[in-house]
Amino acid sequence: MDGCIHQAETLVELLRARGLTCATAESCTGGGIGSAITSVPGASEVYYGGVVSYDNSVKRDVLGVSGSTLDKHGAVSPECAAEMAVGARRLLKTDLAVSVTGIAGPGGGTPEKPVGLVWFAIATAKGVRTEKAIFAGDRARVREQAVVHAIGMLAVEGVS
């Protein structure tokens, strides 16, 4: 997790320098992104909070993911990730929001959605962008890689 912490330090410095704020919407990482960011002294200047939406009811009722998105595409989809990020940004009133939803394993995978599949989204005033990754390793490794990837997405948006 040292890589996560170093990357989070860089993110906090970058957002602070640019005067930007961020939020998170997490499913399979269970708060890991927020934990990494808040481990950095001064993170409260840039990180407003996050929603751990492990259950679909939280995705729907708190973040505003539509029931039709969940029914048609499932929780592990670019559509759901996009709506999660938009919902977190709206709810927490931040400049940026990142979301993550995936299958960390060891079970739950299918041929169409294998273990290690993670969808990410970043929402800004300019819109929303999604990314897909398939990570190798056990549950802890998939989650750690997802945290690193999400923090990286926030950093990239922070310099755009």
What are the pLDDT digits (tens) for 114-158? 999 999 999 999 999 999 999 999 999 999 999 999 999 999 988
- The domain tally of the chain equals 1
Give me the phi and psi of 18, to 5 degrees please.
Answer: -90, -5
**Crossing angle (nearest 10°) for helices 2-18 and 139-159:** 20
Give the residues across from 128 on adjacent strands: 123
**Would you state the pLDDT for residue 2?**
61
pTM (2 d.p.): 0.96
**Would you state the pLDDT for residue 3?**
66
Q: What is the pLDDT of residues 53-69, one digit of tens each?
A: 999 999 999 999 999 99
Residue 67: CATH number of its domain: 3.90.950.20
Domain that holds residue 63: 2-159
What CA dihedral angle connects 19, 8, 113 and 61, to 10 degrees? Answer: -50
Give me the phi and psi of 81, to 5 degrees please.
Answer: -60, -45
Give me the phi and psi of 23, to 5 degrees please.
Answer: -145, 170
